[in-house]
Amino acid sequence: WLPLAGLTSPRPPAPPRADPTAMAPRTGIRRRSTALGAVASALAAAAGLRCLCSAFVAGPSAAKGLRGGLTARAAEEEGGFMSKVQDFIKVEQDISLTPEEYKLALDQEMEAERKKYYINGVVKPGNLVVPWKDVDEKELEQSARGNLQKNGINDPAGPADLSKDDSDITVQTVGEQDVKVDWTAGEPGNKVGYIIERKPAGAMSFQEVGSYENQEQNFLLIKEYAGHEYSFDSQMVPPGSWTYRVLCRFRSGEIAVVDQKDVVVPELSGMDQSQAAAIFLSILFVSSVGSYLADTGPTL
């Protein structure tokens, strides 16, 4: 049978094909616009870079045309930005406390320094990092005062500034055969440690009796603050006149003389050597005579 006429749906007409020649002019326009935009962007970037370079090279006069120049001009009108910063730093460095406030700050700083001597900073008996070395309270206080001074906090009851140079040494006898050498350190700077030497009166060369390089004398190493008081004990010094001097070694290897002083170690008190020799010979003579008499005694 044949399909009825009018019941079949007609097919939609095919869309017209695009003409390649008609699209060519529009594509060319887009490409030309893109190229012009790239050239314009490059020119704008070059102009901006040139403006920035001229601002940095030419100095404040060229920078005033920029946004930052307005801030600089306003600061100059008010007295200058750097002057404001310098005034602020000066205020921050010059911190004045009352004696009570300084005592509180010192106690807190000493507790912070004390924790360095204990394992994990826990202050309790039997927890020292070096069990055989007790905590020196005087050294703790000196370290704490040095830390406060570095932060601009000075003791209102003491001197505000410490000398940058090491003090002169003092040499004195302790007991009969010991010599004590004391001095106060200045600013640490590039210093490493101290060396103590001595020589007999009239001798040409010194002999080293103490050095920061010795493990047992590492207390002669430079501290991180000025004003530390050093003390060195030279034990069993023979009687006579001696010259002691303290040297300081710098990181560059240079060695400088801090100071030197003369000291006289007196003779041992009591009997002198001639008296001791006479007594020894007398005892030896008596014992020899006694032995001889015992050997030549009467026989039964």
Burial 162-191, CB ≥16 within 10 A → b, else e: beeebbebebebeeeeebbbebbbbeeeeb
Q: Looking at residue 12, what is its pLDDT? A: 59
Tokens representing residue 28 in the block: 């060319």
Average confidence (pLDDT) over 219-248: 92
Tens digits of residue pLDDT in 234-260: 999 999 999 999 999 999 999 999 999
Does the pLDDT at position 86 exceed 70? no
Poorest-pLDDT segment among 19-23, 61-65, 289-293: 61-65
Q: Could you give the C-alpha distances from 271 to 138, 238, 266, 298, in angstroms and in order?
A: 41, 16, 13, 40
Q: How many residues does the chain have?
A: 300
Q: What 3-state class would DSSP assign to 145?
A: helix
The proportion of the chain whose per-residue pLDDT surpasses 90, expressed as a percent, equals 28
**Quick one: CA dihedral 208, 173, 200, 272, positive or negative?**
negative
The CA-CA-CA angle for residues 198, 199, 203, to 5°, reads 160
Alpha carbon 224 to its chain centroid, in Å, reads 5
Average confidence (pLDDT) over 278-296: 68
Tens digits of residue pLDDT in 99-151: 888 889 989 988 998 998 899 989 988 888 888 878 888 778 877 887 787 77
- N-to-C CA span, the chain: 181
| Separation of alpha carbons 212 and 232, rounded Å | 11
Does the pLDDT at position 76 exceed 70? no
- For the sheet containing 240-250, what is the strand order? 207-211, 191-200, 240-250, 255-265
Nearest CA among 294, 126, 158, 176 for reference residue 226: 158
Mean pLDDT score across all residues of the chain: 73
Does the pLDDT at position 6 exceed 50? no
Confidence band, pLDDT 50/70/90 cuts, at residue 153: confident
Nearest CA among 97, 233, 109 for reference residue 152: 97
Does the pLDDT at position 261 exceed 80? yes
The answer to whether 198 and 244 have CB atoms below 8 angstroms apart is yes
Average confidence (pLDDT) over 191-215: 94
